[in-house]
Structure formats: structure tokens, C-alpha cells
């Protein structure tokens, strides 16, 4: 039987790649050190597959088609953007497990949109290249990594409770597998950040700390109780990405979190939180 | 709904190389294909990101459009066009430093 052996929250801030020297050295050390620790912790979980929950930034999907939730079930490549520090190329997927998540969902009230040939963006590639690939080096083997994209950047947004339910469905699909899959799920997202609005550059440390505390407590009910208008007003349109955190937490059984790092980084226009989700810890 | 067509135009201008070139060569010709009012076409032609956002266009699109095609691509100027001034303009961010 497959199982979810752990999860993480981590950011995918592209500004840290285009302006790496903008914050103080101590801040840079905190953030890059957090990615390294996440990689070590991921390897220690001895996973066979990783699932990254990302979100489109109105690049992959256009106004002609805006999926609420979509999973890459076939060939993968990317990232689509040319960002310093990220390499483009083919990515190893676990097509069997991705297909199982889709078919299990269809039988249980979750009608997945599927991407059979998919190019990922930085919300997948930053966790993949700075955490999954270093973990592969430690383990000496490939870690196929399934992309899931939730509507966080473009309305209509997936409702927060639905994101958590989707995480639970992913867990149920993994557990329905006869294979001894050990799956780690990564919720990829920044906390407070304003993207393209007049407030861009602000960070709300109070909101960020609130979210991190809910993660540590494993309080999924409170995490999914936020109203979208409140999130946008307090923490910006980018903070809608906490949907990815809710999905990851919903996938990890009886999750409780352990904060790895937090940094409010206005130079990188985002509140950056790193957290590990431990299963069955309550 | 103009918001939707504005987003369609800006999305193409953000991600499609051929659309970007057509817009650079002939903005009016490119915009002719969209059922937009003269005022809406002017917002796009003049990079009036404030008006576009006021019409409901997603800020991720206005920023992408600006960074891809505006004359100087300055993020400081982008925030000015959104109505920022004083300290808000000078607030330190890597994105603004580029501009």
C-alpha cells in the first residue's frame, strides 16, 4: 500500500533568482539554507515519488481555459520561463501514480483536468531544482515528481476548503495503490506578497506568522477558513497561494508542522516560510 | 465583457512571440482583432496599467505586459502608472531596483 510519508511548505519566489544579492547576507543565508535543509529532510524520508502543488501566474493557462485544478499525467518539461539558476529540460514523472490519482478522483467526486504533455513554471521548478534534485543526489536515484496546479493566481480561485479536500483525495488515491509508494507532497507558495499591484514590495509579517503558526499547529480548519477578500486585503493577491499549503496539509495524515525557517523579505517582495509537515504527529 | 477581451489581448502579448512582434510593428493592427472600445485600445497602446487594472484586468497580466513590451520596462515607472508616489515608490524592492 502506498502512503504519504511527509510534506513541506516552501516558497517559489522568482525575485530571489533575478536579484539574488538584494537582501542582507544573513537573510540570503536563511533562505538558501532552508532549501538545503528541506532537501536533506526530503532525502531522509526516503521517498519514491514527490508531488509538487504549484500555481499558474497567468502564463501557462490563458483566458480561453482556466482549470481549477490540473495534474500532469504524462510528459513533463520546463520551466517555461528563462530564470537565472534554473535549467530547462525534460522532467521525470510518475505517470502511473498520476493516472491513479485521476481515476480515483473520478470515482470519488473529483473531476481532474489533466495535462498529458505539460510545461511547468517556476512554482514547480524552484522546489524541484533546489530541493528534489539535491535529494536525488543524496539518495543516488531519481525521484519522479508529479505536478499539480491549483487556481491561486487567476480567478475563479479554487476554494480553500476544496484545496484541502483535494489533498485528502490525493492521499486516498496514494493509499489505494498496491505499490509501496512513499510519497512526499510539497505545497509551493509564498505567504504575503502583492504581485503587479501598487502595493508590490510590501510584506505582512503578522499575516505570515499567523499562517506559519497554523501550520505548526496543524490547524487545517483555521487555515481553510480565511475569506479571499481578507487574504487579499491583508496579504496581497500572491497570498492566495496558501491554497497550496492547505492542499499539502490535507494530504498528510493528521499533520502537524515544524517550522524550518521564516523570513520577511521586502527586497524579494515576499514573506518566505519553510515548514515540514509530519504525519500522525498529533 | 471587456475585461475578458483585454485579458485575452494582454495574455497573448505576454506569452506569444508572434503577437509581441505584431504589436511592436503595428499596435493598432494587432488590436483590431479584438472587440474593444477605442478607449480600451488606447489603454493597451499607451500601457495605461492603472486603467487596465481598474477595468478588472489581473495585475499579473498588466505586469507581464509591461515587462515584455513597455518602452523602458521600468518597474518604478510601472508603480507610478498605478498611482504610487513618495515612499511607496521608493520602497525598497529588487523588482523596483531594476527600474
- The pLDDT confidence band at residue B98, using thresholds 50, 70 and 90, is very low
* Count of domains observed in chain A: 1
- Is A197–B93 a contact, with Cβ atoms under 8 angstroms apart? no
What H or E segment, with its residue span, contains residue A278? strand A270-278
- Is A59–B7 a contact, with Cβ atoms under 8 angstroms apart? no
In the prediction, which pLDDT does A181 show? 96
State which residues form the domain around A92.
3-278
Residue spans of the domains in chain B: they are: 2-98
Q: Give the separation between CA B20 and CA B12, rounded to whole angstroms.
A: 8
Looking at the domain that runs over B2-98, which CATH code has it been given?
Answer: 1.10.700
Identify the residue whose cell numbers are 481553510.
A224
List residues bridging with A272 in a β-sheet: A263
Q: Which residues contact A219 (CB under 8 A, 6 or more apart)?
A: none
From A228's Cα to the closest Cα of chain B, the distance in A is 15
Interface size between A and B, measured as CB pairs under 8 A: 78
> Is A17 an interface residue toward B (CB < 8 Å)?
no
**Chain A residues near residue B84 by CB distance under 8 angstroms:** 198
How, if at all, do strands A69-78 and A182-188 pair?
unpaired
ipTM rounded to 2 decimals: 0.94
Would the CA dihedral through A65, A170, A12, A227 be positive or negative?
A: positive
**Chain B residues near residue A28 by CB distance under 8 angstroms:** none
Which CATH number belongs to the domain containing residue A116 in this structure?
Answer: 3.40.830.10
From B80's Cα to the closest Cα of chain A, the distance in A is 8
Cell of A268: 524579494
Per-residue pLDDT of chain A (282 residues; tens, 9 = 90+): 999 999 999 999 999 999 999 999 999 999 999 999 999 999 999 999 999 999 999 999 999 999 999 999 999 999 999 999 999 999 999 999 999 999 999 999 999 999 999 999 999 999 999 999 999 999 999 999 999 999 999 999 999 999 999 999 999 999 999 889 999 999 999 999 999 999 999 999 999 999 999 999 999 999 999 999 999 999 999 999 999 999 999 999 999 999 999 999 999 999 999 999 999 955
- Residues 21-40 (A) with a CB less than 8 A from some CB of B: 22
CB A207 within 8 A of CB A273: no
Provide the mean pLDDT of chain B.
90
Query: Residue B99: is its pLDDT beyond 50?
Result: no
Of B2 and B39, which is predicted with more confidence? B39
Amino acid at each position: 500500500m502506498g502512503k504519504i510519508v511527509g510534506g513541506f511548505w516552501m516558497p517559489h519566489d522568482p525575485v530571489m533568482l533575478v536579484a539574488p544579492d538584494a537582501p542582507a547576507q544573513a537573510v540570503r543565508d536563511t533562505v538558501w539554507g532552508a532549501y538545503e535543509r528541506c532537501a536533506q529532510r526530503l532525502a531522509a524520508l526516503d521517498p519514491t515519488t514527490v508531488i509538487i502543488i504549484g500555481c499558474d501566474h497567468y502564463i501557462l493557462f490563458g483566458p480561453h481555459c482556466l482549470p481549477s485544478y490540473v495534474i500532469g499525467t504524462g510528459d513533463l518539461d520546463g520551466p517555461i520561463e528563462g530564470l537565472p539558476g534554473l535549467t530547462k529540460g525534460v522532467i521525470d514523472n510518475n505517470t502511473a501514480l498520476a493516472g491513479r490519482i485521476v481515476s480515483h478522483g473520478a470515482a470519488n467526486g473529483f473531476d481532474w483536468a489533466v495535462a498529458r504533455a505539460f510545461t511547468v513554471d517556476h512554482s514547480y521548478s524552484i522546489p524541484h531544482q533546489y530541493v528534489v534534485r539535491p535529494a536525488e543526489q543524496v539518495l543516488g536515484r531519481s525521484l519522479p515528481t508529479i505536478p499539480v496546479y491549483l487556481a491561486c493566481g487567476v480567478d475563479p480561485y479554487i476554494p480553500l476548503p476544496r484545496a484541502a479536500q483535494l489533498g485528502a483525495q490525493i492521499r486516498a488515491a496514494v493509499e489505494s495503490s498496491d505499490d509501496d509508494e512513499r510519497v512526499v507532497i510539497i505545497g509551493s507558495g509564498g505567504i504575503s506578497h502583492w504581485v503587479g499591484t501598487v502595493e508590490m514590495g510590501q510584506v505582512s509579517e503578522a499575516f505570515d506568522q499567523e499562517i506559519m503558526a497554523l501550520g505548526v499547529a496543524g490547524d487545517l480548519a483555521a487555515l481553510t477558513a480565511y475569506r479571499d477578500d481578507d487574504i487579499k486585503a491583508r496579504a496581497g493577491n500572491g497570498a492566495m497561494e496558501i491554497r497550496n499549503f492547505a492542499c499539502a496539509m490535507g494530504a498528510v495524515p493528521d499533520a502537524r508542522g515544524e517550522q524550518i525557517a521564516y523570513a520577511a523579505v521586502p527586497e524579494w517582495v515576499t514573506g518566505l516560510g519553510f515548514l515540514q509537515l509530519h504525519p500522525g504527529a498529533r | 465583457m471587456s475585461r475578458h477581451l483585454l485579458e485575452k489581448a494582454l495574455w497573448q502579448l505576454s506569452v506569444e512571440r508572434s503577437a509581441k512582434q505584431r504589436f511592436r510593428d503595428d499596435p493598432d493592427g494587432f488590436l483590431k482583432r479584438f472587440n474593444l472600445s477605442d478607449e480600451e485600445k488606447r489603454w493597451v497602446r499607451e500601457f495605461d496599467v492603472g486603467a487596465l487594472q481598474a477595468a478588472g484586468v489581473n495585475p499579473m497580466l498588466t505586469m507581464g505586459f509591461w515587462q515584455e513590451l513597455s518602452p523602458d520596462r521600468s518597474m518604478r515607472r510601472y508603480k507610478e502608472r498605478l498611482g504610487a508616489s513618495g515612499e511607496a515608490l521608493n520602497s525598497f524592492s529588487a523588482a523596483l531596483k531594476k527600474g
